[in-house]
């Protein structure tokens, strides 16, 4: 874990509040290996937490005041009382992520006390690597250290973080990003059943690297397109008379899908086939079968491109360049909500440099930038770093 990030956050705390923090917590961002837009359909996902995170240095207070300094936003301080209604701020979006979690924990009747905190992070923002989930989960994890907070288990922390983003910040996300940030296991991906909330760690085989490559495509219209996809999935589930597309299998889709309009049918087909791919990919990864993992990731990408229509041409191009190097030895696909952002590759370590070379040589974003490339370790979920 990055010592510089921790010491930078401690220093920000000391200069804002003139005292030393009592503890430091962290929560990671994530990359999703497979299972896109399945979480809000009650389905399966296979993400891993990454070694890029939000860090909070904090000191619990004896009174009811919350003071938050954002080290990455020029040291601005947000201050409020736990005894007054917590409102949204229009002038500081970062502050709302913290406020939303504090309000959600209060709504759950949890015994909060005041807190001073300094926040910093190194999860790339706007890249689709869940910097916001890492922030909300870190805030939840911090309050979970207070006495009387036993109910705030990692899963409950994740759900509180998700609800705060849905209700307070206004993002209609599913539960994947927060669950993996709260529950990630070092060296493992996590199979998450987004309905039952059961999780199962799946070891990343030795000698396998996880590469994240940023397309630097500006993600426009993300929220409206995301919400449209959700509505289309809900409409499809209503057509089949089930609570969510999780309950539709390929046979049902083939038999009764004809009654859907073409676009809604394609959306449903993506989700139904993607759920099946996640379960197969879990087996493939667990048995170290990277060739099979690669085929499933390729099918996932094609399904996102052709049926769910959430990729964009530069992202398709970036995937093609990587696939050209990797061949049958691993896999590559777009990761995250879509319309830009990052792709993920699961490859033997000896392919990291050849992939990097090919991408730096052959890929340019629409604005002319090269891809930014991260080679990640599957990290542990949120936790206390030092006390």
Catalytic residues: 177
Minimum CB separation of residue 215 from ligand GLA in Å reads 15
How far, in Å, CA of 302 to CA of 332, rounded? 11
| Tokens 């990455």, residue located | 72
Any contact of residue 337 with ligand GLA (CB under 6 A)? Answer: yes
Any contact of residue 40 with ligand GLA (CB under 6 A)? Answer: yes
Tell me whether residue 71 or residue 332 sits nearer to ligand GLA (CB atom). 332
Cβ contact 54:12 at 8 Å: no
Whose CA is closest to 236, among 248, 254, 224, 223?
248
Any contact of residue 176 with ligand GLA (CB under 6 A)? Answer: yes
Any contact of residue 174 with ligand GLA (CB under 6 A)? Answer: yes
Minimum CB separation of residue 186 from ligand GLA in Å reads 22
First-last CA distance in the chain: 15
Q: Within its chain, how far is the Cα of 65 from the centroid?
A: 30
Minimum CB separation of residue 36 from ligand GLA in Å reads 4
DSSP 128: S
Count of positions on this chain that bind ligand GLA (CB under 6 A): 10
- C-alpha to C-alpha distances, 83 to 113, 149, 177, nearest whole angstrom: 10, 19, 30
Please identify which residue in 6, 39, 304, 380 interacts with ligand GLA, judged by CB under 6 A. Answer: 39
Minimum CB separation of residue 308 from ligand GLA in Å reads 10
* Three-state secondary structure call for residue 365: coil
Query: Which of these ranges, 94-102, 103-111, 174-182, 275-283, lies near ligand GLA under the rule CB under 6 A?
Result: 174-182
Q: Within its chain, how far is the Cα of 49 from the centroid?
A: 8
Q: Within its chain, how far is the Cα of 140 from the centroid?
A: 16
Any contact of residue 307 with ligand GLA (CB under 6 A)? Answer: no
Any contact of residue 44 with ligand GLA (CB under 6 A)? Answer: no
Any contact of residue 341 with ligand GLA (CB under 6 A)? Answer: no
Query: Which of these ranges, 86-94, 171-179, 202-210, 264-272, lies near ligand GLA under the rule CB under 6 A?
Result: 171-179
Site string for ligand GLA, 118-157 (x = CB under 6 A): ----------------------------------------
Q: 79 has which bridge partners?
A: 67
Please identify which residue in 8, 10, 37, 246 interacts with ligand GLA, judged by CB under 6 A. Answer: 37
Whose CA is closest to 302, among 254, 266, 329?
266
**Strands of 179-291, DSSP E:** 188-193, 199-203, 208-214
Between residue 177 and residue 196, which ones bind ligand GLA under the rule CB under 6 A?
177
Cβ contact 190:200 at 8 Å: yes
Question: Where does this chain bind ligand GLA (CB under 6 A)?
Answer: 36-37, 39-40, 173-174, 176-177, 336-337
């Amino acid at each position: 874990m990055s010592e510089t990030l921790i010491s930078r956050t401690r220093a920000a705390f000391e200069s804002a509040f003139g005292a030393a923090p009592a503890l430091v917590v962290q929560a990671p961002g994530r990359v999703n290996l497979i299972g896109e837009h399945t979480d809000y359909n009650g389905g399966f996902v296979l993400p891993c937490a990454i070694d890029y995170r939000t860090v909070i240095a904090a000191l619990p207070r004896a009174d009811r005041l919350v003071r938050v300094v954002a080290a990455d936003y020029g040291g601005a301080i947000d201050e409020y009382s736990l005894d007054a209604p917590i409102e949204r701020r229009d002038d500081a979006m970062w502050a709302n992520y913290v406020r939303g979690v504090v309000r959600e924990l209060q709504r759950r009747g949890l015994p909060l006390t005041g807190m001073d905190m300094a926040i910093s992070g190194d999860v790339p923002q706007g890249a689709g690597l869940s910097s916001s989930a890492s922030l909300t989960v870190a805030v939840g994890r911090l309050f979970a250290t207070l006495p009387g907070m036993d109910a705030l288990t990692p899963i409950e922390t994740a759900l509180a973080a998700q609800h705060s983003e849905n209700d307070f910040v206004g993002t209609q996300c599913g539960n994947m990003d927060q669950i993996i940030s709260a529950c990630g296991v070092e060296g493992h991906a996590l199979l998450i059943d987004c309905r039952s909330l059961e999780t199962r760690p799946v070891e990343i085989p030795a000698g396998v690297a996880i590469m994240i490559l940023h397309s630097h495509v500006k993600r426009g219209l993300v929220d409206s397109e995301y919400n449209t996809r959700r509505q289309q999935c809900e409409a499809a589930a209503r057509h089949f008379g089930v609570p969510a597309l999780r309950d539709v299998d390929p046979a049902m889709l083939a038999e009764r899908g004809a009654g859907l309009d073409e676009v809604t049918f394609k959306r449903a087909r993506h989700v139904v086939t993607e759920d099946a791919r996640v379960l197969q990919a879990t087996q493939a990864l667990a048995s170290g079968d990277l060739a099979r993992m690669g085929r499933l990731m390729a099918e996932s990408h094609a399904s996102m491109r052709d049926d769910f229509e959430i990729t964009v041409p530069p992202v398709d191009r970036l995937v093609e360049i990587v696939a050209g190097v990797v061949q049958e030895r691993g896999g590559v696909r777009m990761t995250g909500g879509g319309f830009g952002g990052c792709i993920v590759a699961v490859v033997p370590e000896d392919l990291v440099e050849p992939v990097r070379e090919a991408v730096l040589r052959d890929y340019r974003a629409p604005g002319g930038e090269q891809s930014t490339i991260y080679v990640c370790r599957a990290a542990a979920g949120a936790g206390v770093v030092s006390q």
